[in-house]
Chains A and B, each alone.
Chain A
Amino acid sequence: MFKNLFNNLFNKAIYTGLLTITLLASPQLSARGVYQSGPDFIAEVFTPQQPEAGVLWFNDNIREQAEKILGHRVLGLRVRYHHSAGKSAWILNEIGKEMPITIGVVIDQGKISSVKILAYRESRGGEVRYPAYMAQYQGATLTDSYKLDKSIDGITGATLSVWAVNKVAALALYYHSQVASQPQ
């Protein structure tokens, strides 16, 4: 019995080992980690122009609306962004399930022109960073109820990550709309 058991285990160990080696030798693709730094993202967005750095200060109205969009408190006094010729770029963090996701959002003339995951730290839901997912946000604007006017198809088992990106995309659109109303 022990011999059989040993043989079985040995065979399985060999198969598992081979499978593991095959998988380990597979192309390197990152699932979790930092994909792009903030400065690199800004440079990529505005190239060849040099964007100006801006600061949006939170007055009571902005803070209240931002909190409604995110569904939780907004801490801090301001948010920094970059802009040039009607286009603005925002780097915002939002927790998916447990860990913050760093998201870059570019708004051009009041519409989302691109969304990019700059860092992903959750165990599940890394699919949100794929271009196919991010492309869904292109052209989205804000409805009167401060939500995206486009439906975003999600990820089974990682709903919270998709919600986090949806909320940040809506928040960047809202911040962009508020920039004009503040003295720079």
Chain B
Amino acid sequence: MKKQLLAALIGLSFAATTQAATPSVEEMWEIIQKQQKQISALKNQLNTNDSRLTETEIIAEATISAVEKIALEPVSVSKTHIGGYGELHYNNLEKDNGSGDKNEVDFHRFVLFTSHQFSDSIRFFSELEVEHSIAGDGQVGEVELEQAYIEWDLANNKTAKAGLFLMPVGILNETHEPDTFYGTERNAVEKNIIPATWWEAGATLNGELSPGLSYDVAAHSGLFLDDGEYKPRDGRQKVGKAKADDMAFTGRLKYTAIPGLELAASLQMQTDMHQGEGDKIAGTLFETHLAWQKDDFQLRALYAAWDFDDAINSIKAGADEQTGFYIEPSYKITEKMGVFARYSEYDNTAGSAADSAVEQMDIGMNYWLHPNVVFKIDYQNQDNSAGTGSDGINLGVGFSY
């Protein structure tokens, strides 16, 4: 009995042991199910991590792009631009004949540029200037609109302008920010012969004939010489209720294919400088110039000549020919400092045998505090047969932006 009981106990115990070590099929199935669930859960977790990682990358990219867009927006969407330039001059000059000294300080020009881009191919540009600081009745200065035109691209290589624009003549007429040229005052030749700064109203076409060879053709309002006047500078009407009985035409060819070199020639024609009032006097201006920069050396040279009908000689003898030229070598000693010398000569009555030319020698220095901020000092020696030439020192400070 005892043996049977023991055997039964052992059998039970074995069965129990066997049962614990080897699960039944049902138990196995249950375990597999549990494990499967765990695998799925882990898989899901992994997938979630993966998608979270991708999502994080997308969010990072979107954030960076948005930050960049916001940061760059003021630059990329601004269609209206404001710019300008200004120059303050001090002149200490003495007349050769002792008839008077000039000892003046003058905020010669204060200019505001405003431009607006209507579309990729249509834009507006303007220049508003206060000359000599104060304008109004009895004041020494003027407020002038020197540029105000619409420009549009007709094709990739052709641009048209309509409105009030600067004549495509000379070196300084179109580019005259003080930090772009030597000498406190602008050269006397372009001022008295061309006459810079010269603007008219009309239409113009600009384009390229070949790489580096461009042209301008313009039809526009003309000069008007009132009674007794004979100098082109006196004829500028500045497009203020300007007489428009006789139009004028200007053409220019410019060669800029070689780095640092500009060669240009302009021709301007007007059939009646009197605009239908009084004797008809036709006038033609021819101008040509060279601007050449090689490393630190620069050379500018310009020649301009007006040819008027002889009838103008009844107003002033010899005024039928009015010519001038200058040559200006310069050298940049350092990046910020340059020296120059300029010899110029002009004559508003070159058609007469009398010696009426004005000769001027300038030497001086520009110091660029910043590429767009310049200090200038120069000495001028001006001579003419009347003894009214002025000699002395000019100082200036100028800027553009």
Q: Total interface residues on A, using CB and 8 Å?
A: 43
Q: Which residues of B contact A5 (CB under 8 A)?
A: 245-246, 271-272, 276
| A–B complex contacts, Cβ < 8 Å, 25 sampled | A5-B276, A16-B219, A27-B210, A29-B156, A29-B208, A30-B157, A31-B157, A32-B156, A33-B156, A75-B71, A78-B68, A98-B83, A99-B117, A121-B120, A127-B212, A127-B256, A130-B212, A130-B259, A153-B293, A154-B259, A154-B260, A155-B259, A156-B175, A156-B256, A157-B174
Contact indicator per residue, chain A 115-134, by CB within 8 Å of chain B (1) or not (0): 00000010100010010110
Q: Which of B81, B156, B371 contacts A31 (CB 8 A)?
A: B156
Q: Which residues of B contact A75 (CB under 8 A)?
A: 68, 71-72, 75
CA distance A9 to B271 in the complex (A): 9
CA distance A76 to B69 in the complex (A): 8
Q: Which residues of A contact B158 (CB under 8 A)?
A: 24
Chain B residue with Cβ nearest A95: B75
Is the Cβ of A132 less than 8 Å from the Cβ of B257?
Answer: yes
CA distance A98 to B123 in the complex (A): 12
CA distance A97 to B71 in the complex (A): 21
Q: Which of B64, B68, B75, B259 contacts A153 (CB 8 A)?
A: B259
Q: Which residues of B contact A1 (CB under 8 A)?
A: 276
Is A20 part of the binding interface, using a Cβ–Cβ cutoff of 8 Å? yes
Contact indicator per residue, chain A 150-166, by CB within 8 Å of chain B (1) or not (0): 01111111010001000
CA distance A177 to B211 in the complex (A): 35
Query: Which 10 A-B residue pairs are closest in the complex by CB-CB distance?
Result: A153-B260, A30-B156, A75-B71, A153-B259, A157-B175, A156-B291, A156-B262, A76-B68, A8-B271, A98-B81
Q: Which residues of B contact A4 (CB under 8 A)?
A: 280
Q: A12-B247, A31-B156 are in contact. Are A151 and B295 (CB under 8 A)?
A: yes
Chain B residue with Cβ nearest A55: B64
Is the Cβ of A31 less than 8 Å from the Cβ of B159?
Answer: yes
CA distance A76 to B75 in the complex (A): 12
In chain A, positions 1-54 with a C-beta closer than 8 Å to chain B are 1, 4-5, 8-9, 12, 16, 19-20, 23-24, 26-33
Is the Cβ of B271 less than 8 Å from the Cβ of A23?
Answer: no
In chain B, positions 10-51 with a C-beta closer than 8 Å to chain A are none
Q: Which residues of A contact B210 (CB under 8 A)?
A: 26-27, 29
Q: Which residues of B contact A26 (CB under 8 A)?
A: 207-210
Listed residue (B125, B156, B205, B209) with the most chain A CB atoms within 10 angstroms of its CB: B156
Is B249 part of the binding interface, using a Cβ–Cβ cutoff of 8 Å? yes
Is A136 part of the binding interface, using a Cβ–Cβ cutoff of 8 Å? yes
Is B312 part of the binding interface, using a Cβ–Cβ cutoff of 8 Å? no
Contact indicator per residue, chain B 147-160, by CB within 8 Å of chain A (1) or not (0): 00001010111110
CB distance from A162 to the nearest CB of B (A): 9
Is B115 part of the binding interface, using a Cβ–Cβ cutoff of 8 Å? yes
Is A77 part of the binding interface, using a Cβ–Cβ cutoff of 8 Å? yes
Chain B residue with Cβ nearest A35: B156
Is B350 part of the binding interface, using a Cβ–Cβ cutoff of 8 Å? no
CA distance A145 to B388 in the complex (A): 50
CA distance A141 to B276 in the complex (A): 63
